[in-house]
Amino acid sequence: MTAAPDQAAAGGREPTPALDVDAAIVGGGIAGLWLANLLHVRGYRAVVLEADGIGGSQTLASQGMIHGGLKYALSGNLTGASEAIAGMPERWRRCLDGRDDVDLAGLAPLSDRYYMFAGSTALGRLTSFFASRSLRGRIRRLERPDYPLALADPGFHGVVYELNDFVLDTPALLATLLRPVADRVYRHRLLPEEVTQTDAGCELHLPGTRLRARRLILTAGAGTGPLLAHLGIESPRMQLRPLHQVLVRHDYPHPLYAHCLTGIRRPEPRLTITSHRDGDGWLWYLGGQIAGDGVAMTGADLAAHARRELAACLPWIPWERAEMSTLRVDRAEPEQTGGRRPDEAFAAAVGPTVVAWPTKLSLVPDLGDKVLALLAPPEPGPPPRLALPRADLGRAPWSRP
């Protein structure tokens, strides 16, 4: 740790000590915490600044699916998008087994399977596509005895496929990532005016501390846009893609982790369902087509629409008593032509600043590789202690106070 006087000394005031780090990471969602772990293991002096609760924006609102992109292949083709992400479930499994730099050993998935189902066997050319050699090892058609309990009802007469994907409990994931780096994750909303760029990096004028960072790594999700504007960074630019998710509280005793393809007319799952512990039962969380279509609806209209969709796709479950609520949340990403979905994790260096959006939870290991490639070797030594409070974990949208 080095301390150096600042300009205030010349004016006779107490100098604000300057502290040095290799990287100041702004934003403690999955991207910021993942990078903090990776840089810690690789010997970098890094600190994280998080404005609110850790994971509090997209990460805790996400469905926690670690997927290989097969849902992008519903047009019947393997596209660039589905290929870039295909290796991610295996990569994450290495982390869960403690065989990667980011060690997630001890973190049990919420579900170690993810399914696709359709209420009829008539899936057109998708049936032969799913059976094709190119998808071998990534998708498997199940026989009835292997169906997940929510689809094992005699009222269901369709098809079920098992994917090579799994689902993580994002609060537990964030808690696991926080443990090794908790002493360097601080609660502070970085204001644009607190940043100045210097020849050697960036200087952050934080309460009680002048922090000199060789790299400023922006992993602030939607908060990255205003910081880019202040730093005069015109490219990359940020795009926001809105979603309107549905939370379903009910007393049906089984969880479900599945894409519903019943009657789809567009190459997108009609419902993407995950289940999360809710007291003694399960809360079902709905994304997919319904969350995109729901952007133009009021919460009440979307809740009514969701009730009809569930009744159409899973008619053997009584939905009358279910309580619906909705959640609007934006995905923050690098701008794409026509506002399209990016295919890969994104990291770019502009001067001393690194701009990073994972674009998907699944792609965070890829983001880690990309950011590491942009950094010079670390300076030896531990990161300095900042005079800021530690950040706490945020709460998932379905968790009750």
Ligand X SMILES: Cc1cc2nc3c(=O)[nH]c(=O)nc-3n(C[C@H](O)[C@H](O)[C@H](O)COP(=O)(O)OP(=O)(O)OC[C@H]3O[C@@H](n4cnc5c(N)ncnc54)[C@H](O)[C@@H]3O)c2cc1C
Print the binding letters for residues 303-342 with ligand X: x by CB under 6 A, - otherwise.
--------------------------x-x-----------
Burial 361-387 (b: 16+ CB within 10 A, else e): bbbbbbbbebbeeebeebeeeebbebe
Q: What angle do CA 203, 207, 211 make, to 5 degrees?
A: 25
The answer to whether residues 378 and 46 touch, using CB atoms and an 8 Å cutoff, is: no
Q: Is residue 164 close enough to count as binding ligand X by CB under 6 A?
A: no
As measured in angstroms, the least distance from the Cβ of 33 to ligand X is: 8
**Residue 135 touches ligand X, criterion: CB under 6 A:** no
Q: Is 160 in the site for ligand X (CB under 6 A)?
A: no
Please choose, out of 110-118, 138-146, 218-226, 307-315, the segment that lies near ligand X by the rule CB under 6 A.
Answer: 218-226
Question: Rounded distance, CA 262 to CA 121, Å?
Answer: 9
Q: CA dihedral defined by 324, 329, 335, 341, rounded to 10 degrees?
A: -30
Q: How many chain residues are in contact with ligand X, going by CB under 6 A?
A: 38
Decide if residue 111 touches ligand X (CB under 6 A). Answer: no
Pick the piece of the chain touching ligand X (CB under 6 A) from 158-166, 171-179, 217-225, 347-355.
217-225
DSSP secondary structure code for residue 393 in this structure: B
Structure tokens at 6: 């600042």
Distance set, CA 197 to CA 6, 10, 204, 351 (Å): 15, 21, 9, 9
Residues 237-296 that bind ligand X (CB under 6 A): 243, 245, 287
The whole-angstrom separation of Cα 260 and Cα 238 is 31
Q: Check residue 26 for interaction with ligand X (CB under 6 A).
A: yes
Considering the complex, what minimum distance in angstroms separates the CB of residue 159 from ligand X? Answer: 23
Which residue, 56 or 368, has its beta carbon nearer to ligand X?
56
Q: Which stretch binds ligand X (CB under 6 A): 22-30, 174-182, 228-236, 375-383?
A: 22-30
Please say which residue, 147 or 186, places its beta carbon nearer to ligand X: 186
Q: Which is nearer to ligand X, 16 or 58 (CB)?
A: 58
H or E stretch covering 33: helix 30-41
The helix (run of H) or strand (run of E) holding residue 60 is: helix 58-61
**64 is a contact residue toward ligand X (CB under 6 A):** yes
Q: Which residues pair with 117 in a beta bridge?
A: 160, 260
**Site for ligand X contains 360 (CB under 6 A):** yes
Assigned token pair, 212: 């000199």
For ligand X, the closer CB: 32 or 236 = 32
Q: Which of 219, 275, 289, 326 binds ligand X (CB under 6 A)?
A: 219
- Report the phi/psi class of residue 137: left, alpha or beta, with left for phi > 0 and alpha for psi in -120 to 50: left
Segment lying near ligand X (by CB under 6 A), choices 24-32, 73-81, 108-116, 248-256: 24-32
Span interacting with ligand X, options 6-14, 35-43, 197-205, 351-359, rule CB under 6 A: 351-359
Angle between helices 364-372 and 30-41 (to 10 degrees): 50
Q: What is the rounded distance in angstroms from the CA atom of residue 322 to the CA atom of residue 334? A: 37
Strand residue runs (E) in 65-192: 65-66, 114-118, 139-141, 159-163, 166-167, 185-187
Closer of 147 and 357 to ligand X (Cβ): 357
Residues 34-63 that bind ligand X (CB under 6 A): 49-52, 55-59, 61-63
The one among 32, 255, 294, 334 contacting ligand X by CB under 6 A: 32
Binding mask 362-381 for ligand X (x = CB under 6 A): x-------------------
In the complex, the residues that contact ligand X under the rule CB under 6 A are 26-32, 49-52, 55-59, 61-65, 189-190, 219-221, 223, 243, 245, 287, 329, 331, 357-362
